[in-house]
Copies of this chain bind each other. A is one copy, B any other.
Amino acid sequence: MVESFDELTKPNMSFKGFTFVRQASLAQTKKGDPFYHLTLAKKSTHIPAKVWSDQLNGREDEAQQTLKEGNLIYIEGDTSTYNDSLQMTVRFFRTAKEDEVNLEDFLETPPEPIQELTVEFERYLEEIKDPLIQTISTAIYKKYKSHFVKYPAAVSNHHSFTGGLLYHSVCMIRLGKDICKHYPSVNQDFIIAGIALHDAAKVMEYTNFSAPSYSLPGEFIGHISMSSMLVDREVQIITKERGQPLSSYEHEAVYQLQHCILSHHGKQEWGSPVEPKTLEAHLIHLIDMIDSRVNMIDRGLDQAPEGEFTKVFPLGKLFKPHSK
C-alpha cells in the first residue's frame, strides 16, 4: 500500500490518499454507461485514471463538484497497464477537506526554490546597463510579477510546471551570461532583457498557472506578438511622460529589443514574424533551444529505463545511458 501518490510507478499497486485533479472529463462506455476520465497528479507524476459508473450512481452531482480540474481529492484505487501505459482505477473518491492537504505539496515546482529564482532574476535585471532597456524590462516585470513567477513556460513538453516560466528565464540568462564572457562582441544588455521578456506574455497566453490552456488572445495574437507589444506600451508611457519622442539611439535600442523577442523562434515557419538579424537575436534563439531541449530530455527520460530508447515528443527516440 503506497501512501504518497507520486510513489505509484508500477501496475498492481494499491493507493489510499490525496491527489490533484489536473484534467477531468465525463465520457460514456460503448454500452452507454457514464464514467470519468481524469488525469491525477502529484508533483511530476501524472497518471490517467477512470472512475466507473458503479462509483457514480446516485452521486452524479457530487462527482461533478469533486472530479473537477484544479481540485484536491481523496481517493482509493489501484494501478494497471493499458496500451503500455500506467493507468488507475478509482474505487472510491471524496473531496479533500481544507485542513487535510496543502496545494503546494501537489504542484510540481522547479528544482530550485521560486523565491531564490526570483531574487536571482531581479538581480539580472539590475545588471542591465542601458537605462532605457532596464527601465522597460523592470516595468514589465513588476506589472506581471505575481503571474510571471507562477506560470509555466509551456502547456506541455518543457517547463510545464508552476514557476516554469521563471525557471526557464533564469536558466537561459545564466547561459547567456556565460556566452557574453566568451564572446566580447555580444551586448549583454540585449541578452538579459531579451531573455527576460521573450516569453513574458505567456502570462496572457495561458488561462491560469495550475491547469493552463490557451486563452483567447493566446490563440488570436500569441505570446510572441504580445511580448513585443508590452515593450511598446512602456515606450508609449515613457514618451508621454517625457513629452518628447525617444532619441535616435534609444529607438535603435528599443527596436533591437523588440526584434530579439519577435525573432526568438528562429524561423518564420516556426512562428516568428521576422528572422534574427542581430547577433543577440541569433543567440537568444539558440539559448532557448538548449534550455528547452535539456528540460524536455530530462523530463522525458526521468522515468525511462536505462540502456534503452524511449520516445519523447517532439524529439523522437532518445537513449538513457546506464548510470555507472
- CB within 8 Å of B: which residues of A? 11, 25, 27-28, 30, 32, 50, 78, 80-84, 89, 171, 174-175, 178-179, 182-183, 185-187, 216-217, 219-222, 224-225, 228-229, 232-233, 236, 249, 251-252, 255-256, 258-259, 262, 268-275, 277-279, 282-283, 286, 289-290, 293-294, 297-298, 301, 307, 309, 315-319, 321-322, 324
Contacts and interface: CB of A to CB of B under 8 A. Distances in A.
A47 B39 CA distance: 29
Contacts of A82: 27-28, 30
A321 B219 contact: no
Contact of A319 (B30, B224, B278): B278
A117 to B, nearest CB: 13
Given A28-B82, A32-B78, 6 more contacts: A175-B182, A219-B319, A220-B256, A220-B274, A220-B319, A232-B232
A255 B219 CA distance: 9
Given A174-B182, A175-B182, A272 B273 contact: yes
5 contacts: A27-B81, A32-B78, A219-B277, A277-B317, A278-B321
Contact of A255 (B32, B216, B236): B216
Contact of A256 (B83, B236, B293, B321): B321
A1 B108 CA distance: 49
A246 to B, nearest CB: 11
Q: Tell me which of A83, A229, A298, A322 has the highest count of chain B C-beta atoms within 10 A of its own C-beta.
A: A229
Contacts of A233: 232, 236
B185 A179 contact: no
A96 to B, nearest CB: 26
Contact of A321 (B252, B268, B270, B317): B252
A259 to B, nearest CB: 4
